[in-house]
Amino acid sequence: MTITVNGKKTDLPENSGRTIDSLLAELDVSQPLYVTVELNGEILERNAFDATLVATGDTIEFLYFMGGGC
Amino acid sequence: MANHFRFSTLLVHGGLEPGPAGATTVPIVQSSSFAYDTAEGLEDVFRGRQMGQVYTRIGNPTTESLERRLALLDGGVAALATSSGMAAITTAVMTIVRAGDEILSSSSLFGGTFSLFRDTLGNFGITTRFVDPLDLEGVRNAINERTRLLFVESIGNPKLDVPDLPALAKIAHDAGLPFLVDATVTTPYLATGGELGADIIIHSTSKYLNGTGNSIGGVIIDRGVFDWNSPLFPHFQPFYKKYRSFAFSARARKLIHKDVGGCPAPLNSFLMTEGIQTLALRMERHCSNALALARFLKSHPKVSWVKYPGLEDSPDHEVAKRLYGGRYGGLITFGTGDKPSAFRIINSLKLARNLANIGDAKTLVIHPASTICCDYSTEEKALMGVTEDLIRISVGIEDPQDIIDDFKQALE
């Protein structure tokens, strides 16, 4: 399965049950409690992370309001 | 750090990540800025694509550890630590209001907050209406089309009145307004922001959270439950669209905090994190010592009046009992009739220290009318519950009999 994460093509093992929550763990995303996830241009509500499946070709952006500079 | 632990465990472990070389305390990252190997790496952090620090004014690893702990304690989705409690109030309120807006605030306020609302923000075209927080109908009637938030202290300092916070939360929410609570006096140990119905919780961490009076700090905790996608708050749209339940935290940190710069020093964040660990033990002692001292003062023939919500004949007792689980905090006020007698008592105390602070392990006193409220008119002092004979006590965690003995000898 190939998806785009933060603008980079990312190959992942095939897994039809991969959710946003499991993707955060699989990619070891820093401070997952504080990340906002944009899936194919739409911001996901946090309570949808465990029910939203990741599909090949998806474009995912992780966004942090902490840290950063602007 | 898992967030399912109980309160006292979170006080010790909440937000703490494994430190270098097995350190069990949060490292003090005393660095103003943070380097990245590549231009792309720094761009990703600036754009928020990667978690990371850029500059300590906006974020710092030591401070973020403190923020994670404080968010967990109050049931928040995020916290923003600041250089003082006043910086926290300023940042929280400026995140919400713009020129032409109105703040609806309790009149029973810490003097610094009263001055911020009336004078400083007033000079920028933000009007504050002050209302008695115990008069629920008066609060409801004071809301108008310009009101953008309701602000209350959990227990008014120094008035020591106890508003019915869940009832005030309902009034705010019925009007589509966020409910901001300064819970410095009660701390999340007596009640969490969620239990009180607050959307945004503010603490001066300098007080009970720190516990030993060794540093100044504040925090804003965002429960992530208020709907900022509202026509009353069009300025939140960019943040709501991008960060949803973090909209308030994002606007606070990425705009107001970034621009105003009220950030804590990493060393102070470390000291706060260390102090918080013993909050539960200290608050139990502050509360039991205060109740014992209030009962003593109540029985003393030279004391004209005592105000403490833990006294059963206090008009605030029932609400305080319901909201705070039979604990009533560490603040007492009392009077002996006039200013000279108040000064004589303060000058005679040997254990209690005369200074402008609360929430220290040590017992503290002050005469507010001549100090922290000296710039206010008699009418304004009356709104804040400050009379010429009032002495405020912040009861410490010393042996209760030594505290009582000190006031006994000073009164006699």
CB contact under 8 A, A64 and B53: no
Q: In degrees, to the nearest 5, what angle opens at C-alpha B103 toward C-alphas B383 and B318?
A: 50
Mind telling me how many Å the CA of A33 is from chain B's nearest CA?
8
pLDDT in tens, B246-262: 999 999 999 999 999 99
- At A68, the pLDDT band (50, 70, 90 cuts) reads low
Give contacts of B253 with chain A, Cβ < 8 Å: 65-66
Is A14 an interface residue toward B (CB < 8 Å)?
no
In a domain, residue A44? The reply is yes
- At A69, the pLDDT band (50, 70, 90 cuts) reads low
Q: How many helices (H) and strands (E) are present in chain A, helices listed first? A: 1, 5
| Domains in chain B with CATH codes | 7-276 (3.40.640.10), 280-411 (3.90.1150.10)
pLDDT at residue B250, as a whole number: 96
Q: What percent of chain B has pLDDT over 90?
A: 91
Mind telling me how many Å the CA of A57 is from chain B's nearest CA?
19
Domain encompassing residue A27: 2-64
pLDDT at residue A66, as a whole number: 79
A45 vs B44, B50, B244: nearest CB = B244
Query: What is the tally of structural domains in chain A?
Result: 1
Checking ipTM against 0.90, whether it exceeds it is no
pLDDT at residue B19, as a whole number: 83
Question: By CB neighbour count within 10 A (0-12 exposed, 13-18 middle, 19+ buried), where does B345 fall?
Answer: buried
CA dihedral B105, B109, B113, B119 (to 10 degrees): 70
In a domain, residue A70? The reply is no
B48 vs A33, A43, A64: nearest CB = A64
Distance CA B119, CA B183 (A): 23
CA distance readout (Å), B114 to B89, B93, B107, B110, B372: 11, 13, 8, 6, 11
B46 vs A46, A63, A68: nearest CB = A68
In a domain, residue A69? The reply is no
pLDDT at residue B301, as a whole number: 97
pLDDT in tens, B34-88: 999 999 999 989 888 888 999 999 999 999 999 999 999 999 999 999 999 999 9
A69 vs B54, B77, B250: nearest CB = B54
Give contacts of B50 with chain A, Cβ < 8 Å: 6, 30, 62, 64
Tokens matching residue B245: 């339940």
CB contact under 8 A, A65 and B244: no
DSSP three-state, residue A9: strand
User: Locate tokens 């606070």: which residue?
Assistant: B252
CB contact under 8 A, B253 and A65: yes
Mean pLDDT rounded to a whole number for chain B:
96
- At B330, the pLDDT band (50, 70, 90 cuts) reads very high
pLDDT in tens, B217-257: 999 999 999 999 999 999 999 999 999 999 999 999 999 99
CATH of the domain at A38: 3.10.20.30
Residue in A19, A7, A10 with CA at minimum distance from that of residue A55: A19
CB contact under 8 A, A43 and B242: yes
Cα B141 from chain centre: 26
Whether A70 shows a pLDDT value over 70: the answer reads no
The per-residue DSSP string of A12-23 comes to ----TT-BHHHH
Please answer whether residues B189 and B280 qualify as being in contact, where contact means their C-beta atoms are separated by less than 8 angstroms. Answer: yes
CB contact under 8 A, A45 and B245: yes
Tokens matching residue B318: 């029932």
pLDDT in tens, A15-41: 999 999 999 999 999 889 899 999 999
Phi-psi region at B250: left, alpha or beta (left = phi > 0; alpha = psi -120 to 50): alpha
Minimum CA–CA partner of A44 in chain B:
B244
- Beta strands (DSSP E) in B176-290 are 179-182, 200-204, 218-222
- At B20, the pLDDT band (50, 70, 90 cuts) reads confident
H helix runs in A2-70, sequence order: 20-26
H helix runs in B58-148, sequence order: 61-73, 85-96, 111-115, 136-142
CB contact under 8 A, A45 and B52: no
Mind telling me how many Å the CA of A6 is from chain B's nearest CA?
7
pLDDT at residue B374, as a whole number: 87
Whether B142 shows a pLDDT value over 70: the answer reads yes
What's the average model confidence in pLDDT over B350-378? 94
pLDDT in tens, B296-307: 999 999 999 999
